[in-house]
Amino acid sequence: MWWLSLAKASSFAPTQATKIAAEWDSLYQFLLVSSLVACALLIGGMIYFVTKYRRKTNHDKTPYISHNSMLEFIWSFVPLVLFLMMFVWGWSLYYDMRTVPSNAKEVHVYGQQWLWQFEYKNGKKLNNEFVVPVGVPVKLIMTSKDVLHSFYVPSFRIKQDVIPGRYTDLWFQAEKLGEFHVFCTEYCGLDHSKMLAKLKVVPLEEYETWLATTTELTGGPGAQIYNDKGCVACHSLDGSPKVGPSFKGAFGKNSMMDDGTEVKVDENYLRESIVNPNVKTVKGFPKAVMPSFQGQLSEEDLTAIIEFIKNQK
Amino acid sequence: MAAHVQTGKNYINEFAGLKSWLCSLDHKRIGVMYAIAVGIFFLVGGIFALLLRTELFSAGPTIMGANTYNQVMTYHGAVMVFMVIIPGIPAVLGNFFLPLHIGAKDVAFPRLNLLSWYVFMAGSILAISTLFTSKIDTGWTFYTPYSIRTSTATVTMVVAAFIMGISSILTGLNFIATTHTLRAPGMTMGRIPLFVWALYSTSILQVLATPVLGITLLLLVAERTLGIGIFDAALGGDPVLFQHFFWFYSHPAVYIMILPAMGIISEVITTFSRKTIFGYTAIAYSSLGIAAVSFFVWGHHMYVSGQSEIANVIFSALTILVGVPTAIKMFNWTATLYRGSIQFTTPMLYALGFLFLFAIGGVTGIMLALIGLDVHFHDTYFVVAHFHYVMVGGVLMALMSGMFYWLPKMSGKMYQESWARISFVFTFIGFNVTFFPQFILGSMGMPRRYFDYLPMYESLNRISTIGSYMIGFGFVVGLITVIRAIYSGPPAPANPWGGKTLEWTVASPPPHHNFDVEPVITAGPYEYR
Ligand SMILES: [Cu+2]
Ligand SMILES: [Cu+2]
């Protein structure tokens, strides 16, 4: 039927990369077609009536039709049955979305203001990108380090909020090789729209060799903290400003504050900026955006991250 | 009854001076004062909308930064929801026409009515005042824990929403009491106009649901100012709990917005078809039915929030049930047109526009109600498009329809039909140009509340922005038409449209006490025989 293919073409859904996505697309197409029919009936009927029964004279007589029980029964009952059918279909799709296969490989996901972090079972960590094997179910165990976020892969038609203080999960089995977008779909402040990640689907063998090679971070324990504590989300190392100022060449210069004072960036200033970021705000950057790391970093950690910043010349 | 020509005094010229308005207990004057306030807030919210759309015209920063965008997005939502759409129809047109429709002199508690206006204004001014302090960027939904951590103005805004809630409760109480106690002799519940049924159902929602919002907002304030852990996980609270509380109010609020709109549509369609409504009882009871079920469907906003899967299934089933009474109404209105005598005045055009847009809003609502389908759509532009079709396409079209329908009665002046139609054409076409592409963007996966987007979404965003300028133009033309009519329109007869409800039996504008003689009702509201 030509109109079915029309609905398919006009669904505009992104690449269909999982079986769930295919299921989703069929339900959506069914809904599109039934919606078209319903709107054609309603709007078509309305347009037909208003043109046919246009006022002719100022004394037009109209019939007094107060109701019609049979008609009213039909147009209550038929939608009810249709709606219930759609509900059951939506439910069964949801059931599949939520039934995690027992052999799924687990990956941990941490959301934090404007960074996605991924951690594999062997300790391998990545920021804003991760790799999964094709044809193998993967389960994401997710939590947030600060506010709500939501993990959304349009090509897989899946989404789940990521919540502080508890775990939520999501699973998928990619059937297509390639790179897919991950969006954050729960508003989380300033750079919500930049909180994107890349999901790479590769053949199983490639995945296994990739997973086995651990990329050593250069820069010692400070670099570790820079990554794990998420400084990387807001501070670059290459001089380009992100949410916060870049660490490149930060140490030793004079930094302008938003109240007009100038501060020399020394160890104590750095320490204060990390432990108590709201005391001084760098000019041109938003206030009260950087979280305080008070109590989250030991003295040794603080020294390490400050040394790390000092080394970014 | 056309004997009531402009000979004597009416509610506008009976008393003079600003004080006579600001201290007036007359429901008509209070309605007009609401109209002015809501009109101004609508302009404010509309300017924010145009700023947003302009920013989104191109990927990357266009006219503002991410921080400003988030603030503008929040103010657009908060102003439009709390200060325009919720009070819009009940407080403006409801205040003016509820007593007239049931043959009463005024509402049951005129002083309370005036108080609601002042409380509303206090809340609104407090809300606007945050624009001059640290501004808020939480989105109109105030989701925790973000709202607990971000700028301090959030507390002020939340208190403002709380205050406006009180005003809403007072108006609801007043309307319920009025409908029950002040109906003219013979005006049984089976004979009140459908607009009154709609207001009545809405009032029940306002009275029962708004306190929950109030409590939630107070808890939020307590958490922020006193550090009590209720919603913030860092303090031992549960962030998802806030969403439950919030939507327990805000879903019924959707019907607080749409039910009165449906009431207007019933009035306008009967008048301009010169025909009795098809299925009076079905429409009246479906309003009540929608109101009742709407308390049990809040979870459809939370399918991916982490709430239990069983809850999701139940919420989905209940939500889909709301589709039935809604569909019934649509069919009834269409059936009313059948063999009518249709006149294409501006109010009727807006009402037909409502049917068109609401049909699209309705079918996409069904899509969103289905759990599995919603997982992909949730928090994308699909949802944005859907609720604009319902809230703007539905509520604002109905509000415009009602404004033009009753302008002759409220102001005593006729507007100029040609200009009013131009305004309709621009708002209606512009509306579809703005929001239809957003359905496609949502299907493609573009998340909402995005300051910036991937290049593949750009062309549709451009179309959408152009559409928003058309809507803006349409509303400006509409506003000018209304103002011109008020200042220099020809005088309106008592019943310019041949309506059958009671407001058309009194002079335009109505006298201070509405009815010179108390009307006695012997038949239903739409007796076109
Ligand atoms: Cu986000
Ligand atoms: Cu809802």
Per-residue pLDDT tens for A62-119?
888 888 888 889 989 999 999 999 999 999 999 999 999 999 999 999 999 899 999 9
> Is B521 inside a domain boundary?
no
The answer for residues whose C-beta is within 8 angstroms of residue A97's C-beta and 6 or more apart is A20, A158, B372, B375
Closest CA to A151 of A178, A119, A115: A115
Q: Other C-beta atoms within 10 Å of A59: how many?
A: 8
B459 — pLDDT class (breaks 50, 70, 90): very high
Q: Please report, as a single letter, which amino acid is at residue B240.
A: V
Per-residue pLDDT averaged across B202-222, rounded? 90
What mean pLDDT is predicted for residues A20-42? Answer: 92
Q: Which residues contact B63 (CB under 8 A, 6 or more apart)?
A: B51, B54, B55
Distance B318 CA to ligand 2 centre (A): 11
Q: How confident is the model at residue B26 (pLDDT cuts 50, 70, 90)?
A: very high
Closest chain A CA to residue B440: A12
pLDDT band at B103; cut points 50, 70, 90: very high
When mean pLDDT is compared across A285-289, B143-147, B204-208, B229-233, the lowest value belongs to A285-289
pLDDT given at position A98:
93
Q: Which residues of B148-172 are buried (b: 16+ CB within 10 A; e: fewer)?
A: bbbbebbbbbbbbbbbbbbbbbbbb
Q: Per-residue confidence at A175, pLDDT binned at 50, 70, 90?
A: very high
Q: What is the mean pLDDT of residues A186-199?
A: 92
Interface touch B143/A187, C-beta < 8 Å: yes
CA distance A214 to chain B (A): 31
- A46 has a pLDDT exceeding 50: yes
Q: Are A13 and B378 an interchain contact pair (Cβ–Cβ within 8 Å)?
A: no
State the pLDDT at residue B390.
Answer: 92
Measured between CA atoms, how close is A219 to chain B, in angstroms? 31
Residue B209 has pLDDT above 50, yes or no: yes
The CATH number that applies at residue B38 is: 1.20.210.10
pLDDT score, position B2:
41
Map residue A253 onto helix, strand or coil. Answer: coil
**Is pLDDT above 80 for A218?**
no
- The ipTM is 0.89
Q: Is the pLDDT of residue B483 over 70?
A: yes
B382 lies in some domain: yes
Whether residue A16 is predicted with pLDDT greater than 90 in this model: the reply is no
Q: Which chain B residues are within 8 Å of A86, Cβ to Cβ?
A: 320, 366, 370
What average pLDDT does the structure give for chain A? Answer: 88
| Model confidence band, residue B5 (pLDDT cutoffs 50, 70, 90) | very low
Are the CB atoms for B380 and B450 separated by under 8 Å? no
Q: Determine whether the interchain pair A45/B306 forms a contact, defined as Cβ–Cβ distance below 8 Å.
A: no
Query: B526: distance to nearest CA of chain A, Å?
Result: 10
Q: What is the pLDDT of residue A217?
A: 64
Q: Answer whether A163 sits within 8 Å of B239, measured CB to CB.
A: yes
Cβ pair B460, B57 in contact under 8 A = no
* Residue B528 lies inside a defined structural domain of this protein: no
B396, B423 in Cβ contact below 8 A?
no
Looking at residue B17, its pLDDT comes to 84
**Mean pLDDT for chain B overall:** 91
Q: Is the pLDDT of residue A1 over 50?
A: no
Which candidate, B190, B245, B251, places its Cα nearest to that of B220? Answer: B245
In a domain, B512, yes or no: no
Report whether A176 contacts A15 (CB < 8 A).
yes
For residue B434, being part of any structural domain is answered with yes
Give me the percent of chain B exceeding a pLDDT of 90.
71
Question: What pLDDT is stored for residue B4 in this prediction?
Answer: 44
| pLDDT at residue B7, as a whole number | 54
Rounded CA-CA distance B376/B374 in Å is 5
Residue A295 binned pLDDT confidence (cut-offs 50, 70, 90): confident
Number of domains in chain B: 1
| Residue recorded with tokens 């306008």 | B268
Burial zone of A77 (CB within 10 Å; 0-12 exposed, 13-18 middle, 19+ buried):
exposed
Query: Which residue range is the domain that position B38 belongs to?
Result: 18-505
Task: Provide the 3-class DSSP secondary structure of residue A140.
Answer: strand
Mean pLDDT of B304-323: 92
Query: Which of A219-223, B349-353, B390-394 is predicted with the least confidence, judged by mean pLDDT?
Result: A219-223
Q: Would the CB atoms of A62 and B528 count as touching at under 8 Å?
A: yes
Q: Is the distance from CB of B62 to CB of B55 less than 8 angstroms?
A: yes
Tell me what pLDDT residue A195 has: 93
- Whether B194 and B98 have beta carbons less than 8 Å apart is answered as no
Q: Quick check: A41 pLDDT over 60? A: yes
Looking at A60-69, A189-198, B26-35, B295-304, which range is the least confident one? A60-69
Helix segments in chain A, DSSP class H: 2-9, 19-52, 69-98, 204-212, 220-228, 231-234, 267-275, 299-311
pLDDT at B181 over 80: yes
Average pLDDT on B413-432 reads 94
Q: What is the mean pLDDT of residues A17-46?
A: 92
Whether A183 contacts chain B with CB within 8 A: yes
- Among chain A residues, CA nearest to B438: A12
Residue B353 has pLDDT above 90, yes or no: yes
Would B39 be classed as within a structural domain?
A: yes
Determine whether the interchain pair B373/A31 forms a contact, defined as Cβ–Cβ distance below 8 Å.
yes
Residue A38, classed as helix, strand or coil, is helix
Q: Is A2 on the interface with B (CB under 8 A)?
A: no
Q: For position B55, what pLDDT does the model report?
A: 95
CB B164 within 8 A of CB B123: yes
- Domain annotation covers residue B154: yes
Is the predicted pLDDT of residue B264 greater than 90, yes or no?
yes
Decide if pLDDT at A292 tops 60: yes
Q: Quick check: is B519 in a domain? A: no
Model confidence over B267-298: pLDDT tens digits? 999 999 999 999 899 888 888 888 888 899 99
Interhelix angle B66-78/B27-55, nearest 10 degrees = 150
